[in-house]
Amino acid sequence: MKTLSSIISLSILFLLFSCTPIPKNVSKSEAMPSIYPDYADVTIPVNIAPLNFLIRDEVEAVQVKAGDITLNARGNEVVFDEDDWRELLAANSDIEVTVTTLKDGKWTEYRPFHWQVVKDKVDPYLTYRLIEPDYEIWNNLQIIQRCVENFDEKALCDYRLTNNQCMNCHATGNQNPQLSMMYVRGPQGGAVLNQNGKLRKLAIKTSDMVSGSVYYGFSPSGRYITFSTNVIIPAFHSRADKRLEVYDSKSDVYVADLQENRIIRSSLLSDSLTFETFPTFSPDGKYIYYCAAPHVQLPQELQQLQYALVRIPFDEATGTIGTKVDTLLNAKGSSVCHPRISPDGKYIVYTVADYGTFPIWHQESDLQMMNLLTRQIDTMAIVNSPRSDTYHSWSSNSRWLVFASKRDNGLYGKPYFCYIDSNGKPHKPFVLPQRSPSFYDQTLKSFNVPELSKGEIPFDAVDVEQLLQQEAEPFH
Amino acid sequence: MLKRLSAIHSRLLIVFLWAIGCFGFFQGYYPYHFFYKEQNQLFLWTNDYLATYFDQPAWLACMVGDFLTQFYYYLYAGSTILTLSLLLLMGVLYAALRRIGLRKGWAFGVAVLLTTLEAFCHLRYDFRLASTYALIGGVSLFLCTFQKRYLLILFSPLAYWLFGYGVWVYLLLSIIKNWKWMIPTSITVLIGVCFLKGTYLLPTDRLYTYPGVGKLTMPNWYLEKQFQIDDEYYFGNWNKVVQLVESEESLTSEMLFFYNLVKAQQGQLPDVLLRYQPNVLGTFYKVGPDTPMLTIKNMNELYYALGDMTFCERATLMACVFSPNNRNNRMVKRLAECSLIKGDTAAAQKYLGLLENTFVWRQWAKKAPQSKVYAEKATMMNQQDTISLSDNAHAIMMQLLDSNPKNEVALDYILCSTLLLKDVKSFKRDYDRYCLSSPRIRKLYQEALCIWLAAEQAPQEQWQLYIKDMSVMQRFMQYNQQRGNAQFKDTYWYYFDKGKAPQI
């Protein structure tokens, strides 16, 4: 159906292009063109899909010159041919883009901008959950995999085939599509584990846990996952500009052995006086990084609930947790969330918010990057926005970072890609390109927890529907 | 010849009378269901949105049905569109039945009967016009192809793609016309549809019935009444809301809720609080995942009237999320209003941009940012920041009043809510907090204050400070001599002694 709709769209575009005005008597402007999404002066990977955009103005026609491509279009939308685009990216490392528009019968050429094309590819597949930016409820959720090299999509889990149950985000182990997990909550639900395309339904919960697993990450071998159990409480700000607050009233961290269906515990990770959450393995599997905060009275002292970035050793060979917790970052006046380490082990990127554990609803949430060797912190000023920037994930080559940002309107999250060069310098991010430039204007869905993988995930929503009929494997 | 003409005339007369009856019934007795259906979608006239119809079977039926449904917003349009659509169904059914060999009289009778049954399906609040167009499409396709066997076979899968479950009508008619070829074709289509699960991501039963087989339904007058009061309020016909309630014998909680909402915004809530028992203010509702959709929508209206944009936006988003396909133009419009009031231009532009792509709301969306209403409403917003675990309306109203003591809607709601609960102590606390400097002299409040003053055995100065209406004082003394006497039914004292407070 997607193919058909694209054929129809292309046919419509063909008809439009066939009688498109060509610029003449052009006047030059020093202003930047008002384009959406903001693709001006961004760094892009050689394998990204066309950066289609629109002009935020009531223009009659537009001409775009990008490298060797000259594109004339009626209306305000700029949609590149996919083959031409691939050739353009393969042949150029610095593309100058000149936009000329026709408005009120006058052509205006704007100041050109550049696309810096890097040979470092971004992992070609992106998974995310589509959800309304609502507060404590859900309806009609989907987990989608999108190929970022083109516009192909497939549903990994779909509300219509799961009795409209809640589902949580899909995470891969080491960006490997053959190792991944996601959750379907509610009756018949469970953790859906993909190991080389074979699906298993797991009940990763024992009676001593405060909840089932919530945030998780795979060990390098894929044998273990480290996960948190969280009692999540939604609360409401009375100030209209703040909306929702979500916090944990209890949380602990565990490790699950996926081979023996066994839970590995440590009193250091389930301390009743400490909140532990957001665990992730280091790429060498020697540490579990997570966030920890001392107990406070909730919700009264919520604004004092500030998490530090810590780590504890782990031995993958024996499946044992170490005995000493190191603190990497305990920033006063801010709370650390979602630590994710680059696959090469050099950097750790995390979110900082004023307080709490739900940065997606904190407008001040920003990404930060720590060099794990020097402990130097980069505030990633070029990456962050005045609105929430969080839920990041690395590409397998450690050169690309994808994260969810609400920078456009504070409500709807979108996946942004950011290049981290070999010197560890972040570049201006760009939003996931769409076939239609007005897609983001028209969607009522928020992109939640984007995660990259090196290949296509080998199952789909129908496989998940069938799996959910089975009994879940218990853990002990 | 004359006999034939007479038969044609009589059939035309029956069709005419049927159409009048259909239009008359839906327009005269069932018009508010149309508004509900219209609100439960957000049809955008954009390539992107139209392309989404290809993601499901029956794209043509759904596109036509939804396109027409958006015009239900206009007066008389719903009944007119539905009647014409059903007449179209009747016409194609008649023609198809004739083609398969039924005599005129039988074909006509069956067509009228089936169309009447389809009309009954439209009595349901969630039955889509798209379903009728799925039938129209299936039958029409048969009419276009029945003469050529290969066309009948060729168009079978196309019928499913275009008209969803309309394919079964198409195949049924085709089998009657040419069973030898069409039975194997039908079996192939029947089996083939099963394999489309991965394409359309629909459960098996929905794959075969998309966009939805109708269910014969009797009119739901209760729901129609609920929709009526809700829509009249939404359209701003507040006098009609009052009139409807005051002329109604069996009042629903929905009616009382909107009646109070109108009266509160007219500054008359204390005057009518005791008029209907048990009364419904909405301030004791809690919104959560299990709250009925209509209640969630009501809470959006209540918080909008009170001026709390946090909880208004929350209820609105929830109502939108629980609408079919998470789309509801009324809620999107309200989200735009909330954002405009909050001064959140970027969020407002998101919703206004969507509405600018609709036929019905385009002009409204263009003009809304200039409206002074939202700037005035912004002065009522909560300026404090606290965190609460649930939508405790009392706490919310206190914050609203602390931010803006002139918010009379919040003031009357907070005072009336505590009075309805017979919580005179809290009433007195709130009255002192918000009314001592500028007393709000209302008979209801004066009567409630009498109870507190009497219970506290307050000194004379206190009575003088609070009781400004001497007639209340005199009546209070009379009531104390005849407690529970029905002639005091209009007083708060009688409600306090004999009325039943709502359970929370």
CB contact under 8 A, B203 and A158: no
Q: Does any CB of chain A come closer than 8 Å to the CB of residue B378? A: no
Peptide bond into B278 cis (omega under 30): yes
CB B114 within 8 A of CB B173: no
Q: Does B344 contact chain A (CB < 8 Å)?
A: yes
Q: Is B468 on the interface with A (CB under 8 A)?
A: no
In the block, residue with structure tokens 């009275």: A297
Do residues A153 and A139 lie in contact, with contact meaning Cβ atoms separated by under 8 Å?
A: no
| Number of Cβ within a 10 Å radius of residue B251 | 17
Rounded Cα distance, B179 and A263, in Å? 63
User: For residue B456, what are the CA distances in angstroms to B142, B451, B452, B463, B480?
Assistant: 83, 9, 6, 11, 15
Size of interface A-B (CB pairs under 8 A): 146
Q: What is the structure's pLDDT at A17? A: 52
> Residue A429: its pLDDT value, please?
98
Phi, psi of B48, rounded to the nearest 5 degrees: -60, -50
- Name the residue among A430, A474, A408, A445 with its Cα closest to residue A153: A445
Give the CB-side neighbour count of residue B51, counting CA atoms within 13 A. 21
The pLDDT value given to residue A4: 57
Region of B34 please: left (phi>0), alpha (psi -120 to 50) or beta.
alpha
Q: Which of B200, B321, B387 sits opposite A237 (nearest CB)?
A: B387
Out of A5, A237, A243, name the one closest to residue B51 (CB). A5
User: The tokens 């002990």 sit on which residue?
Assistant: A476
Please answer whether residues A394 and A343 qualify as being in contact, where contact means their C-beta atoms are separated by less than 8 angstroms: yes
DSSP sequence for B467-500: ---HHHHHHHHHHHHSTT-GGGTTSHHHHHHH--
Question: Tokens standing for A473?
Answer: 């494997």
* A444 Cβ neighbours under 8 A, 6+ residues apart: A132, A412, B42, B320, B326, B327, B332, B354
State the alpha helices, DSSP H only, in B30-103: 32-39, 47-51, 59-69, 77-99
Looking at the partner chain, which of A2, A236, A462 has a beta carbon nearest the beta carbon of B197? A462
Tokens 């309805």: give the residue: B420
Taking the C-alpha atoms of residue B117 and residue B14, their distance in angstroms, rounded to an integer, is: 16
Q: Which of B363, B288, B297 is nearest to B335 (CA)?
A: B297
Nearest neighbour of B388 by CB, restricted to A2, A137, A235: A235
Kindly give the confidence (pLDDT) of every residue in chain A, 476 residues in length, as a single tens digit, with 9 standing for 90 and above: 555 555 665 565 555 555 788 999 999 999 999 999 999 999 999 999 999 999 999 999 999 999 999 999 999 999 999 999 999 999 999 999 999 999 999 999 999 999 999 999 999 999 999 999 875 678 899 999 999 999 999 999 999 999 988 898 789 999 999 999 999 998 889 999 999 999 999 999 999 999 989 999 999 999 999 999 999 988 888 877 777 888 999 999 999 999 999 999 999 999 999 999 999 999 999 999 999 999 999 888 999 999 999 999 999 999 999 999 999 999 888 999 999 999 999 999 999 999 999 999 899 999 999 999 999 999 999 999 999 999 999 999 999 999 999 999 999 999 999 999 999 999 999 999 999 999 999 999 999 999 999 999 999 999 999 999 999 999 99
Query: Residue A440: left (phi > 0), alpha (psi -120 to 50), or beta?
Result: alpha
Q: Alpha-carbon distance A77 to A438, whole Å?
A: 8
Helices (H) and strands (E) in chain B, counts: 29, 1
Q: Are the beta carbons of B326 and A140 separated by less than 8 Å?
A: yes
d(CA B138, CA B163): 6
Residues listed for chain A:
476
B114 vs B214: CA distance, rounded Å: 12
B166-186 per-position pLDDT tens digit: 999 999 999 999 999 999 999
Beta strands in A163-283 (DSSP E): 167-173, 176-184, 190-195, 198-203, 213-218, 224-237, 244-257, 262-264, 274-281
Per-residue pLDDT, averaged over B114-128, amounts to 97
d(CA B274, CA A135) in angstroms, rounded, equals 36
DSSP symbols for B398-464? HHHHHH-TT-HHHHHHHHHHHHHTT-HHHHHHHHHHHHSSS----HHHHHHHHHHHHHTT--HHHHH
**Residue A137: closest CA among chain B residues belongs to which residue?**
B289
B467-476 average pLDDT score: 94
- How many CB atoms neighbour CB A282 within 10 A? 20
Distance CA B275, CA B288 (A): 30
Q: How far apart are CA B461 and CA A444, in angstroms?
A: 60
**What is the rounded CA–CA span in Å between residue B154 and residue B174?**
12
- Cβ atoms of A386 and A403 closer than 8 Å: no
Question: Apex CA B258: angle with CA B37 and CA A133, to 5°?
Answer: 55
| B437 at interface of A, judged by CB pairs closer than 8 A | no
What are the backbone angles phi and psi of residue A28, rounded to the nearest 5°?
-95, 145
B9 — pLDDT class (breaks 50, 70, 90): confident
Check residue A9 and give its pLDDT. 59
Which of B203, B310, B327 faces A236 most closely, judged by CB atoms? B310
CB contact under 8 A, A240 and B338: yes
Q: Are A433 and A52 in contact (CB under 8 A)?
A: yes
The amino acid present at B500, given as its one-letter code, is K
Task: Please say if the pLDDT value at position B358 is more than 60.
Answer: yes
Whether chain A has a CB inside 8 Å of the CB on B104: the answer is no
Contacts of B51 in chain A (CB under 8 A): 5, 8-9, 436
Query: Which one-letter DSSP state was computed for residue A420?
Result: B
> What's the pLDDT tens digit per position in B416-441?
999 999 999 999 999 999 998 889 99
> Measured between beta carbons, which residues in chain B are less than 8 angstroms from residue A363?
none
B299-355, pLDDT tens digit by residue?
Answer: 999 999 999 998 899 899 999 999 999 999 999 999 999 999 999 999 999 999 999
Q: Which two tokens stand for residue B254?
A: 């929905």
Q: Using alpha carbons, list the distances in angstroms from residue B162 to A284, B21, B469.
A: 54, 31, 72
Over pLDDT 70: what percentage of chain B? 99
Angle at B176 between CA B175 and CA B179, to 5 degrees: 45
Torsions phi, psi for A247 (to 5 deg): -140, 165
Unique residue bearing structure tokens 């993601």 = B55
CB contacts, 8 Å: B206 with chain A: 160
Q: What's the gap in Å between the CA of B316 and the closest CA on chain A?
A: 10
Query: What is the DSSP secondary structure assignment for residue B357, as one 8-state letter?
Result: T
Give the B window 190-249 contacts with A, CB below 8 Å: 197-203, 206
Residues A196/A178, Cβ–Cβ less than 8 Å: yes
Does any CB of chain A come closer than 8 Å to the CB of residue B286?
A: no
pLDDT of A20-62, one tens digit each?
889 999 999 999 999 999 999 999 999 999 999 999 999 999 9
- Residues in A closer than 8 angstroms to B352, CB to CB, are none
Q: What pLDDT sits at residue B232?
A: 97
Interface contact flag, A237 B326, Cβ < 8 Å = no
Furthest-apart CA atoms within chain B: distance in Å: 100
Residue (of B36, B63, B38, B37) closest to B49 by Cα position:
B63
Nearest CA distance, A264 vs chain B (angstrom):
34
In tens, the pLDDT along A202-244 reads 999 999 999 989 999 999 999 999 999 999 988 888 877 777 8
B164 touches B58 (CB < 8 A): yes
Report the residue from A155, A242, A445 with minimal CB separation from B385: A242
Is A63 buried (19+), middle (13-18) or exposed (0-12) by CB count in 10 A?
Answer: buried
Q: Could you tell me which chain B residue has the CA closest to the CA of A462?
A: B198
Contacts of A243 in chain B (CB under 8 A): 310, 313-314
Alpha carbons B467 and B449: distance in angstroms, whole number: 7
Pairwise CA distance, residues B317 & B334, whole Å: 9
* φ, ψ of residue A441 in degrees (nearest 5): -70, -30
Using CB atoms within 10 A of its CB, is residue B436 exposed (0-12), middle (13-18) or buried (19+)? exposed
A304: tokens are: 């004092």
Round to whole Å and give the CA distance between A240 and A442.
24
Contacts of A139 in chain B (CB under 8 A): 321-322, 326
Q: Which residues contact B101 (CB under 8 A, 6 or more apart)?
A: B176
Judge: A245–B198 Cβ closer than 8 Å, yes or no: no
Give A235's contacts in chain B (Cβ within 8 Å).
Answer: 387-389
The token pair at B37 is 């259906």
Q: B18: which 2 tokens? A: 């049927």
Which residues neighbour A141 within 8 Å (Cβ) at sequence distance 6 or greater? A129, A130, A131, A157, A159, A164, A166, A167
Q: Which residue in A8, A238, A461 is closest to B51 by CB distance?
A: A8
Query: In chain B, what residues touch A298 (CB-CB under 8 Å)?
Result: none
Q: For chain A, how long is the longest CA-to-CA vector?
A: 76
Nearest Cα to Cα of residue B174 among B223, B134, B141: B141
Contact B137, B155 (CB under 8 A): no
Q: How far apart are CA B177 and CA B382, in angstroms?
A: 69
Q: What is the pLDDT of residue A333?
A: 87
Q: For residue B314, which of A445, A81, A243, A87 has the smallest C-alpha distance?
A: A243
Element (H, E) at A453: strand A446-453
CB–CB contact A137 B321 (8 Å): yes
Q: Do residues A232 and A252 lie in contact, with contact meaning Cβ atoms separated by under 8 Å?
A: no
Cα-to-chain-centroid distance, residue B442: 34
Whole-number pLDDT of residue A76: 95
